Homo-oligomer: A and B are copies of this chain.
Amino acid sequence: MSGKDGRRRAIIINVTPQIENGRFPVKRIPGEEVVVEADIFSDGHDDIGAVIAYRKDGSKTWNERAMTHIVNDRWRGAFVVRETGLYQYTLYAWVDHFSTWQKALHKKIEAGRDIVIDLQIGLEMIAATAKRIRSSDRKQLLYIEKRIKEEKDTATAASFALSQGTSNIMTRYPDRRFAKGFEKVLRVRVDRKKALFSSWYELFPRSLGPGNTHGTFADCEKTIPEIAKNGFDVLYFPPIHPIGTTHRKGKNNSASCEPGDPGSPWAIGSVEGGHTAIHSQLGTMKDFKNLVRKAHEHGVEIALDIAFQCSPDHPWVHNHPEWFLTRPDGTIQFAENPPKKYEDIVPLNFESENWPELWNELKNVFDFWIDKGIRIFRVDNPHTKSFRFWEWCLQEILAVNPDVIFLSEAFTRPKVMQWLAKIGFTQSYTYFTWRDSKHEFIEYLTELTRTEMGEYFRPNFWPNTPDILARALQYAGRPSFINRLILAATLSSNFGVYGPAFELCVNTPVPEKEEYLNSEKYEIKDWPPRKEDSLAGLMSRLNQIRRENAALQQTRNIEFLRIENDQLICYLKIASGDRSGPMLIAVNLDPHNTQTGWVEVPLEKLDITDNRPFKVYDCISDTAYTWKGRFNYIELNPHIMPAHIFSVHTL
């Protein structure tokens, strides 16, 4: 019962977006809008005014944007973020006595009541406002006051008090003495554009050598132009560090390793060094830096894989045994998922007495590679490391380097995947890999884009990875590879492929598993040269279409369209805040048979008059069709091309 609080009558609750009550920021890229909603009301029946206040972190001044009432005491407003880094936002609401007075005056006039005293009440408010303000508006307000005061005819005075001009100026300077502020300041993390729009290509550099020889960074440099030509802007490598020899895995994850087997790159660390060293067969740090530079020249960024686990030969195991679990027999506990054993790997113990040193050392790994020019990290299995560590580490790094992107490689339970995105990962692997039916895709995309997840979880769709040869790819050959590729690249603005195996439609699994037989994880592959039937050309085309159409550079803008065929999935994407055209995508999910159907086009969203024909241009096949009305015919033969990617044009 102190201060002015008792007179602050407005209530502001249920503010969205708000991740974990404001503990974590929502995510945006420059130019994107933050749409803020809240339940705002007060006692009685007075009018309410409300604004969003926002600013860049560290800025001294707040900007404001008006909120408007939608329905049922729900209010909405929006602001646009422009720069990378953190923004803050909060809300203010107050009882608007002047607007309340105007409405009452209007009703009293209509009822023929005497309004002489009422006009005086309004004049007092106008005078008080004029006294408060300094700008040129003051002069105008004083003029309005004078006009009303001196006007002999009450009706004329009233119409002046109710005029749009009076309303405008009074709305600009509301009496906010008793304004109530929302009790929290919420935040937006603004990442660079690539956080939302990126095309990833994964390869093992060691497979790039001639024949079966160990590839090098120099070999990598030679492939950069081709990767750039195919339109990828992120080239991601599995770990490039020295590989342990103790319990090294052989081909096909065999527990016994033959001479010459290179081992899994995820068994990190040897006498050569650990997470800040380079596997010597790949080259030197100088070679690496050259490669990063060369890639940069071609518009390609190198992404490193950060896997916080060690081979038993890692220097940390010797220098910091307290960072690991020691068994009663004195040995270090290796990784296991009973009854499976992973003896080539020892996990870190985040309950170590020495956890602060461990945290610092792990963060140093990122800082080391950031210093070498790396700005994108794919983090291996982050869900098996302490969440508190990630929350701290990612925030610390982003505070200094807001352009760093972290991709969370967690394939685990929904709430855990969400949590990793909340605590700071920029992008996330998803369940896309295991979604097959039209219903599943629509349900999953709806969850990703229409729920709170859309505010903080940026999906990155991968049809395959070195760990996963999805069942959908195993049985139907090339048409299934093409439909998964087009789905990944058009459903989500972030997508990636484990490239060589995908381009060549490699689809032989370990029997009964979703894993590659003779996986590149355990051996050097000599991929054959790409022939005409490789998917490289289609990838290049797809990435070009993505680059040229802003609608495909967002994910939350998707809207599924009705088409009465369960094998045909159709969706519309319209770029918000951009004048580039709408995109209408249709994919045949059946890799065997031609499917046909009539898609319902929401003409009103495309500004197309009901009976006017319009043009859809298929960016894949370079052909145009003239459509008319709400229902239009689609026919897709998977053996020719299982999809259309149409840009839509009014005629």
Contact = CB atoms under 8 A, between A and B. Distances in A.
Interface residues of A, number: 56
Contact of A356 (B6, B103, B178): B6
A13 interface: yes
A638 to B, nearest CB: 35
Copies in the complex: 2
Interface stretch (A108-116, A277-285, A599-607): A108-116
A41 B413 contact: yes
B108 A5 contact: no
A351 B383 CA distance: 53
A153 interface: no
Interface in A69-100: 72-73, 95
Contact of A7 (B41, B108, B110, B350): B350
A598 interface: no
B1 A117 contact: no
A359 interface: yes
Given A356-B6, A386-B9, A419 B117 contact: no
A417 B578 CA distance: 42
Interface in A313-360: 327-329, 336-339, 350-351, 355-356, 359
Contacts of A8: 388
B111 A44 contact: no
A351 B7 contact: yes
A104 interface: yes
A308 to B, nearest CB: 11
Interface string A136-175: 0000000000000000000000000000000000000000
Contact of A388 (B9, B338, B384, B419): B9
Contacts of A419: 11, 13, 41
Given A355-B6, A392-B1, A415-B41, A328 B120 contact: yes
Interface in A1-29: 1, 5-9, 11, 13, 20-21
B6 A338 contact: no
B43 A356 contact: no
A392 to B, nearest CB: 6
Interface in A22-59: 39, 41-45
A41 B416 contact: yes
A391 to B, nearest CB: 10
Interface in A123-141: 124
A528 interface: no
A614 interface: no
A298 interface: no
A43 B385 contact: yes
B387 A104 contact: no
B355 A7 contact: yes
Nearest to A416: B41
Contact of A351 (B9, B21, B328, B356): B9
A41 B350 CA distance: 16
A389 interface: yes
A529 interface: no
A579 to B, nearest CB: 38
A551 B388 CA distance: 47
Nearest to A382: B43
Contact of A5 (B121, B329, B388): B388
Contacts of A356: 1, 6
A10 to B, nearest CB: 9
A53 B5 CA distance: 34
A513 interface: no
A348 to B, nearest CB: 11
A450 interface: no
Contacts of A639: none
A210 interface: no
Given A6-B386, A9-B387, A121-B328, A415 B73 contact: yes
Contacts of A73: 413, 415-416
A113 B336 CA distance: 13
Nearest to A422: B13
A336 B118 CA distance: 13
A504 B156 CA distance: 55
Nearest to A110: B339
Contacts of A355: 6-7
A342 B192 CA distance: 60
A222 interface: no
A259 interface: no
Nearest to A385: B43
Contacts of A21: 21
Interface string A295-310: 0000000000000000
B388 A6 contact: yes
Contact of A111 (B339, B387, B415): B339
19 contacts: A5-B388, A6-B350, A7-B351, A9-B350, A9-B386, A9-B387, A9-B388, A41-B419, A42-B387, A43-B383, A44-B383, A72-B415, A73-B415, A108-B339, A111-B338, A111-B339, A120-B329, A121-B327, A178-B351
Given A108-B338, A124-B328, 14 more contacts: A1-B356, A6-B355, A7-B351, A9-B388, A13-B419, A21-B21, A41-B419, A43-B384, A44-B383, A45-B337, A72-B415, A104-B338, A107-B339, A120-B327
Interface pairs A-B: 10 shortest CB-CB: A111-B339, A107-B338, A120-B328, A104-B338, A73-B415, A6-B355, A7-B351, A44-B384, A107-B339, A117-B329
